């Protein structure tokens, strides 16, 4: 039996695009694309956690196991924790339900980081980028990493700030954070017990809560995935992206 559980939080009542997990992309629900990528990773059982029976019934149509969680969950992380309670896996991977172009190797790298690096409380992923539009877009979160991939900070701002653009640093990439998290069970339990932190509330980034409490977050390097789905426009762009790959 695997010591890893993958949970895909898929809230039916999402505010910016209601029922986005079930919106069709290339003829399949968005969350089905995510589920199939997790299945291909082949690192552990995959659950889809939701607050609505409609999602449970819908995902059963493509063979996935849906679990009902409380409508009171404040975040996807809370939903993942609730779905993982009462189970025995040592590691829980939270895969966003709106990332249909997730690469299975990303899930595998997260699993390997958790299993092989005892210093890592939380594993996540980041992709190098020199795309000015992404760097300056507050919806594209940037990670600042040390030489070992340990996260020093996450921000919606363009960090680190290049005080002077020189030949040496103009091609030094920024790190675009990707929304997948792998937790040691005890780290997940600790995280959800904490109140929102000051930096988290300023940036609206919950991973800062973990950093402020002293948890170690490490990043695996990946190639950038395709667009995530947050709005109706994102869904249209994803359809166009899907035609090109």
Average pLDDT over residues 163-185: 94
Q: Distance between CA 122 and CA 219 in Å, rounded?
A: 9
* Structure confidence at residue 50 (pLDDT): 95
Contact 179, 97 (CB under 8 A): no
Contact 41, 108 (CB under 8 A): yes
List 220's β-bridge partners, or say none.
125
* Structure confidence at residue 1 (pLDDT): 63
Q: Distance between CA 154 and CA 235 in Å, rounded?
A: 26
Q: What is the mean pLDDT of the chain?
A: 95
Helix (H, G, I), strand (E, B), or coil: what is residue 112?
Answer: helix
Q: How many CA atoms lie within 13 A of 143 on its CB side?
A: 25
Q: What percent of the chain has pLDDT over 70?
A: 100
Confidence of residue 204 (pLDDT cuts 50, 70, 90): very high
Confidence of residue 245 (pLDDT cuts 50, 70, 90): confident
* Structure confidence at residue 44 (pLDDT): 97
Tens of pLDDT, residue by residue over 18-38, are 899 999 999 999 999 999 999
In this model, does residue 230 exceed pLDDT 90? no
Maximum C-alpha span of the chain: 56
Calculate the CA 22 to chain-centre distance. Answer: 18
Average pLDDT over residues 201-208: 96
* Structure confidence at residue 15 (pLDDT): 81
The two three-digit tokens of residue 1, written as one number: 């039996």
Element (H, E) at 128: strand 122-129
Contact 19, 12 (CB under 8 A): yes
Smallest CA-to-CA distance from 224 within 143, 168, 169 is with 143
Confidence of residue 238 (pLDDT cuts 50, 70, 90): very high
In the block, tokens 């069970």 appear at 185
Q: Distance between CA 81 and CA 188 in Å, rounded?
A: 7
């Amino acid at each position: 039996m695997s010591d890893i559980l993958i949970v895909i939080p898929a809230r039916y009542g999402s505010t910016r695009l209601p029922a986005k997990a079930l919106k069709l992309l290339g003829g399949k629900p968005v969350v089905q694309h995510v589920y199939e990528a997790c299945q291909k990773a082949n690192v552990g059982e995959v659950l889809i956690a939701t607050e609505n029976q409609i999602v449970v019934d819908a995902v059963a149509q493509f063979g996935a196991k849906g679990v009902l969680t409380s409508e009171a969950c404040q975040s996807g992380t809370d939903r993942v924790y609730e779905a993982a309670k009462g189970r025995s896996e040592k590691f829980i991977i939270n895969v966003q339900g709106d990332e249909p172009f997730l690469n299975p190797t990303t899930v595998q790298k997260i699993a390997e980081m958790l299993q092989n690096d005892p210093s890592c409380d939380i594993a996540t992923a980041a992709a190098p980028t020199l795309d000015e539009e992404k760097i300056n877009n507050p919806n594209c979160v940037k990670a600042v990493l040390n030489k070992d991939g340990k996260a020093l900070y996450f921000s919606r701002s363009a960090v680190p700030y290049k005080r002077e653009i020189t030949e040496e640093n103009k091609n030094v990439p920024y790190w675009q954070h990707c929304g997948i998290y792998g937790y040691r069970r005890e780290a997940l339990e600790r995280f959800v017990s904490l109140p929102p932190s000051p930096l988290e509330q300023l940036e609206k980034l919950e991973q800062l809560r973990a950093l402020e409490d002293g948890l170690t977050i490490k990043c695996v390097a990946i190639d950038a995935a395709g667009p995530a789905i947050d709005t109706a426009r994102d869904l249209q762009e994803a359809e166009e992206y899907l035609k090109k790959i």
